[in-house]
């Protein structure tokens, strides 16, 4: 396994991050535990979850599955860099979501109980809260850190200017601020290259791409359809609009002799801002397969061909759309 520092921190994390959103809704408890054990066998030490995972009436179930796995001992918690998130509503009453000081306190306590741990390595804001001042947000995070309940703060789905506002507010308070940003980023969704990635790099944030396969669009979707397997989710919504690109992409992967999913992950690993793409396996086989991406080296010619098939926004702002 390859490791790298998370942004400007001294924290070492694996180049792939284990996403756990399927644990509970799709993957049963024992299978979820087996996937986490296999991740450790491969050297994957970076796990990501969120308090809302499990969804609906089962919100929190995914964290509980991870907590039950930690409770098995044998160094599972100690070997894991654990990231979870808050923001989404966990109940029907006011103050059960978002980033008020009250919810930051309550959400953290609840996640710690479900996760059966006394601290969270990276506590991430799942979305920007436009109604809560940054001084209030950072005071809530500072209190948790002083209590030893969190170590680092992270964001998810932030715009570049949200990152800037957060970091400048943290600087005024002499607080470390954000160390990571989770964004939708893959070959077919490259909007973050305009301003989010430059902001993250300038402020020293590690970038953790979610949906690296665009919900399956980049995972060999045409091959699966040929095997009478239907597409679903994000891939189903975008396949028709991107069919020509998908056909060219899968043909190029054939030339490389690699699976499309692994090429998509490898491409992200070649982007300078990226710390670790999030892979969300439903099975052990999917996790084992994702590790192949770490061994794929894409030369300049291959990267240029991928840019032709999946053109980005043209670079960073403002040059991408001005001069």
Alpha-carbon gap, residue 201 to 246, rounded angstroms = 30
Specify the DSSP element, H or E, that contains 222: helix 221-226
Instruction: Return phi, psi of residue 114, to 5°.
Output: -65, -40
Which helix (H) or strand (E) covers residue 46, if one does?
A: strand 46-48
For residue 318, whether the previous peptide bond is cis, meaning omega lies within 30 degrees of 0, is yes
C-alpha of 190 from chain center: 15
Please, what is the angle between helix 134-146 and helix 101-115, to 10°?
A: 40
- Angstrom distance (rounded) from CA 2 to CA 197: 22
CB 51 within 8 A of CB 60: yes
The distance from CA 122 to its chain's CA centroid, rounded to whole angstroms, is 12
How many residues are given for the chain? 323
Among 53, 87, 152, 203, the one annotated catalytic = 53
The Cα 228–Cα 291 span in angstroms is: 26
Whether 3 sits among the annotated catalytic residues: the reply is no
Distance CA 91, CA 186 (A): 32
Is residue 169 within 8 Å of residue 138, measured between CB atoms?
Answer: yes
The two most distant CA atoms of the chain are separated, in Å, by 57
Catalytic machinery residues: 53
């Amino acid at each position: 396994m390859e490791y790298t520092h998370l942004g400007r921190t001294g924290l070492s994390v694996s180049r792939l991050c284990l996403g756990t959103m399927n644990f509970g809704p799709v993957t049963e408890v024992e299978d979820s535990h087996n996937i986490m054990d296999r991740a450790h066998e491969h050297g994957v030490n970076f796990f990501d979850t969120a308090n809302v995972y499990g969804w609906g009436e089962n919100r929190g179930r995914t964290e509980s599955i991870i907590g039950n796995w930690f409770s098995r001992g044998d160094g599972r918690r100690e070997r894991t860099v654990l990231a979870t998130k808050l923001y989404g509503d966990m109940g029907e009453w006011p103050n059960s979501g978002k980033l008020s000081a009250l919810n930051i306190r309550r959400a953290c306590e609840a996640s710690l109980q479900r996760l059966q741990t006394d601290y969270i390595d990276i506590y991430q804001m799942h979305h920007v809260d436009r109604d809560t001042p940054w001084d209030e947000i950072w005071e809530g995070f500072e209190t948790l850190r002083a209590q030893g309940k969190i170590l680092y703060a992270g964001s998810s789905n932030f715009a570049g200017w949200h990152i800037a506002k957060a970091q400048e507010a943290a600087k005024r308070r002499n607080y470390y601020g954000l160390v990571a940003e989770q964004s939708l980023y893959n070959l077919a969704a490259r909007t973050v290259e305009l301003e989010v990635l430059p902001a993250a790099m300038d402020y020293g944030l590690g970038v953790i791409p979610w949906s690296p396969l665009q919900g399956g669009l980049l995972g060999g979707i045409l091959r699966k359809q040929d095997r009478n397997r239907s597409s679903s989710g994000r891939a189903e919504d975008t396949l028709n609009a991107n069919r020509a690109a998908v056909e060219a992409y899968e043909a190029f992967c054939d030339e490389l002799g690699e699976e499309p999913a692994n090429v998509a992950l490898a491409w992200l690993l070649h982007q300078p801002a990226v710390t670790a793409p999030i892979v969300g396996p439903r099975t052990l086989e999917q996790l084992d397969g994702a590790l192949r991406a770490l061994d794929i080296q894409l030369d300049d010619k291959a990267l240029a061909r991928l840019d032709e098939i999946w053109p980005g926004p043209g670079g960073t702002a403002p040059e991408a759309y001005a001069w």
